[in-house]
Amino acid sequence: MASKRASEQHHHHPVDPEEAAAAFARAIHDGDIVNFRLLFQPFSPAREDSIESFDTAKYDYLLPDSEMEADPRYQEYLEKVKEPAIWDHIQQELAANRPARMPAELVLLLADRAVELGKYTSASLAYEQLRIRQRMQEEFLALADEKLSEGDVKAGVKGYLIGTGLDYNYSAFPEPLPAVPNFQTQALILHGRYPQNPEDCVGMLPPEAHLRRAFEFLLGSADVAARLDEYNLETRLAFFRELVYARDPKWDEFAARMKEAVEMARDMQQRINELMGSGDGTYDGLVEEISSELGDDPRAISAKSLGEDPDTPREWWQYLKDLGYRSPPAVLFVARQFVGNSEIIVPRYVMDSPVAQAAGIDLPKRKA
C-alpha cells in the first residue's frame, strides 16, 4: 500500500502554466527543436503526470533568464504560445497518453527562428517534421540566386549556406537525419590519391575547375555547386571569397601562416633540387639535409600551416584532418608530398591564380 501511495504522489504534481508557456517560448526563441520536443515527452516537466519539475536543476535550463524575458522577440513568441487555440492544443496534447502532435504554427515559427540564428540542423528537423523541408530548401536557394543576380554576393552566399544546411540524409540509420558538414572526412577523400604529377593537385587545377571543386567541397553538394556555373567568373570568384570567410571567420590568420609555409616549402624544394643534382641523392641523405634546413623534421611545414609546435610532428593525414576541422578552405590549397621516406602536407597551388588572389594567398613567382 505504501508503495502504491508513493507511486501516486510521484506521478502527479501541479504544473505552473506560466512556467510551461515560458519554456515553450524559450525553445522557439533559441530555435531549439530538441528542447521543444522534450517538452512534449512523457517525462516532460510540463506534464502533470510526470515526476519531473521545472524547479529542479535538471530542467531549470528550459526556462528563460531575466535577460531573455526582456527581449521583445521572446515576448512575441510567448504571446503566440499563449494564444487560446494554440495553448488549448498544447494542453490537450500534454494530457493525452500517446505521442504528441505538436502545433504546426509553433514548429514553423521555431524553424524560421533557427534559420535566423544559423542553426540549420535544428531548422532542417523542424521543416522535415512539417514535410516542407525540400520546398523551403529550394526557396532559399532560389532567393540566393536572385540576390546573386542583383550583385548582392554576401546575401547569395548566406542563402546557399542555408539551402545546403537544410539538406537531409535519408540513408542514415536508424532513421533519416539532417546532413551535417564533415570536412575532416571529406578532406581525406579529396586527397585520398597521391598526386603523380603536380597538375593532379586540386590547387593546380585551372581556375574554373578549381572553383567548381571548391564549391562542391565547401557547400557539400555537387548539385548545388552546379547552380553556380551560370554566373561569370568574376561573380564566382567574389562568391568564393565570401564563402571562404563564412567557413573560416579567422581565414586571415590562416592565410598569413600559409604564406610562411609557402616560403618554407619553396626553400625545401630548392634544396631538394640542389641535392638531387649533386651528392648521392639517397633517401637517407636527402632527409638528413632537408632536416638541417628546416629543423628537426620536414613536417614543420605542415605544422606551420596549422600554427602548431613543429616539435610534435604527426602523420600527413592527421594534419589534413585538422586542416579540415579548423579551416576547411585550406584543404583546397595543399597537397601530399614525399620527402625521403616521410610524407607531409605542403601548400600547393598556382600562386598567381585568380582563385588564390580571391583567397588572399597569392604570392609572386620567384625568379629563377
Phi (first) and psi of residue 347, to 5 degrees: -65, 135
Is 151 part of a structural domain of the chain? no
Among 110, 130, 150, where does a domain finish? 130
Q: How many CB atoms lie under 10 A from the CB of residue 150? A: 10
Is 207 part of a structural domain of the chain? no
Is 295 part of a structural domain of the chain? yes
- Look up the pTM and report it: 0.85
User: How many domains are there within the chain?
Assistant: 2
Is 145 part of a structural domain of the chain? no
Does residue 29 contact residue 77 with C-beta atoms inside 8 Å?
Answer: yes
Query: What's the pLDDT at 260?
Result: 81
Amino acid at 129: Q
Structural domain for 266, as ranges:
251-359
Is 187 part of a structural domain of the chain? no
Handedness of CA 80, 85, 88, 94 (dihedral sign): negative
Query: What's the pLDDT at 2?
Result: 43
C-alpha cell at 367: 625568379
Length of the chain: 368
Is 120 part of a structural domain of the chain? yes
Query: What's the pLDDT at 258?
Result: 83
- For each of the chain's 368 residues, which pLDDT tens digit applies? 444 444 444 456 688 999 999 999 999 999 999 999 999 999 999 999 899 999 899 999 999 999 999 999 999 999 999 999 999 999 999 999 899 999 999 999 999 999 999 999 999 999 999 999 999 999 999 999 999 999 999 999 999 999 999 999 998 888 898 998 899 999 999 999 998 887 889 999 999 999 999 999 999 999 999 999 999 999 999 999 999 999 999 999 888 888 887 777 777 667 666 655 555 444 344 445 545 554 456 667 777 666 666 666 678 898 899 899 999 999 999 999 887 677 888 888 888 899 999 999 987 665 55
Amino acid at 35: N
Is 143 part of a structural domain of the chain? no
Alpha-carbon span 166 to 102, nearest angstrom: 21
Query: What's the pLDDT at 200?
Result: 87
Owner of C-alpha cell 548539385: 223
Alpha-carbon span 326 to 250, nearest angstrom: 9
Query: What's the pLDDT at 319?
Result: 86
Alpha helix stretches (DSSP H) within 166-226: 183-190, 207-219, 222-226
Among 96, 130, 164, where does a domain finish? 130
C-alpha cell at 324: 579540415
H/E segment holding residue 347: strand 342-347
Among 89, 115, 130, where does a domain finish? 130
Is 117 part of a structural domain of the chain? yes
Alpha-carbon span 153 to 172, nearest angstrom: 33
